[in-house]
Amino acid sequence: MPGRLQHKSAVITGAGSGIGLESSLLFAQEGANLILVDVNLPNAEKAASLISERFPNVKAIPFKADVSKESEVEAAIALAVKEFGRLDIMFNNAGIMHPEDDNALNTEERIWDLTMDINLKGVWWGCKHAILAMRKNPTDESKGLRVGGSIINTASFVAIMGAATPQLAYTASKGAVLAMTRELAMVHAREGIRLNSLCPGPLKTPLLMDFLNTDEKKQRRLVHLPMGRFGEAVELANAALFLASDESSYITGTDFKVDGGLSSAYVTAL
């Protein structure tokens, strides 16, 4: 059985942990060659070793880059093109939730700027350099390889719902990811480049669990979750795989919610 991403090449940011790690494993299982970008190189290297053990038919190259730096993102994409001859999938997934991010009164400007630089500007750099590369993709219809590609930008459910436990810079950065992705999807639709946002609900990954470090904080959220549980990173990886593959070929500009029903809830079952 050919994999769902057979012959494709992908760059995944934040590949060393959480959604990025699970997506790296799943994309490799489905046949994609990968550049595993993370600011934490040892974690990207661990992801690459796992892939080479489990899926020896694909290539996964760890690459240290801070997504807020344009030259580093550009270098990661250039490496994909050099190694694999093309870029089909760009998963702009790296993001931070800073512990000092708070409400409008308490959030310091440096926290705002850092969050925007990584969560929003980092996604812009990824889109910019992926679009430039995808325009040049060589075609091979027998393998389903075309000009263009799929860009997936990780936003969040907080981009579409208000939370009374504020993280202002994070929320604003994710709202901007949704708006930017929609507009880019329209601008590049006729080039065969699809852009979609992924909107995870609250997940059991280090990003959120480091922050929800007491039972009280966890319960404050769990009561609002229709399924009564946090999501798993692999549940987001499955959604990212769909958006990355040709199965989603008529989907662009969408806010793809994978939130266990959270954003549809008024009251939840007991």
DSSP state of 89: E
Laid out side by side, the sheet with 33-38 consists of 60-64, 33-38, 9-13, 89-92, 149-154, 193-200, 255-258
Buried-exposed string 83-114: b where 16+ CB fall within 10 A, e elsewhere: ebebbbbbbbbbbbbbeebbeeeebeeebbeb
The residue (of 61 and 208) whose beta carbon lies closer to ligand NAD is: 208
User: Which residues inside 29-58 make contact with ligand NAD, applying CB under 6 A?
Assistant: 38-40, 43
Does 67 help bind ligand NAD (rule: CB under 6 A)?
Answer: yes
Q: Are 225 and 260 in contact (CB under 8 A)?
A: yes
Q: How far apart are CA 195 and CA 128, in angstroms?
A: 12
Binding mask of the shown chain, residues 221 to 240, with x at each position contacting ligand NAD by CB under 6 A: ------------x-------
Q: Near ligand NAD by CB under 6 A, which window of 14-22, 102-110, 186-194, 244-252?
A: 14-22
DSSP annotation string for 170-231: HHHHHHHHHHHHHHHHHHHGGGTEEEEEEEE-SBSSHHHHTT--SHHHHHHHHTT-TTSS-B
Active site residue 170: yes
Q: What tokens appear for 243 in the block?
A: 């958006």
Rule CB under 6 A: which of 172-201 touch ligand NAD?
Answer: 200
Say whether residue 205 binds ligand NAD (CB under 6 A): yes
Beta bridge partners of 193: 149
Out of 63, 157, 170, 230, which one is annotated catalytic? 170
d(CA 52, CA 99): 35
Q: Among 207, 225, 237, 258, which residue interacts with ligand NAD (rule: CB under 6 A)?
A: 207
* Binding-site member from 9, 11, 12, 20 for ligand NAD (CB under 6 A): 20
C-alpha R_g of the chain: 18
Pick the piece of the chain touching ligand NAD (CB under 6 A) from 16-24, 48-56, 103-111, 213-221.
16-24
Size of site (CB under 6 A) for ligand NAD: 30
Q: Which of 24, 93, 181, 197 binds ligand NAD (CB under 6 A)?
A: 93
**CB–CB of 192/148 below 8 Å?**
yes
- Nearer to ligand NAD by Cβ, of 9 and 154: the residue is 154
Report if residue 62 touches ligand NAD, rule: CB under 6 A: no
Q: Please report how close the Cβ of residue 93 comes to ligand NAD at its closest, in angstroms.
A: 5
Cβ proximity to ligand NAD, 4 vs 98, nearer residue: 98
160 in the Ramachandran plot: left (φ > 0), alpha (ψ -120 to 50) or beta? Answer: alpha
Beta carbon of residue 2, minimum distance to ligand NAD (angstroms, whole number)? 28
Q: Is 9 in the site for ligand NAD (CB under 6 A)?
A: no
> How far is the C-alpha of 149 from the C-alpha of 146, rounded, in Å?
8
Q: Which are the catalytic amino acids?
A: 170
List of residues contacting ligand NAD (CB under 6 A): 13-14, 16-20, 38-40, 43, 65-68, 93-96, 118, 154, 156, 200, 202-203, 205-208, 233
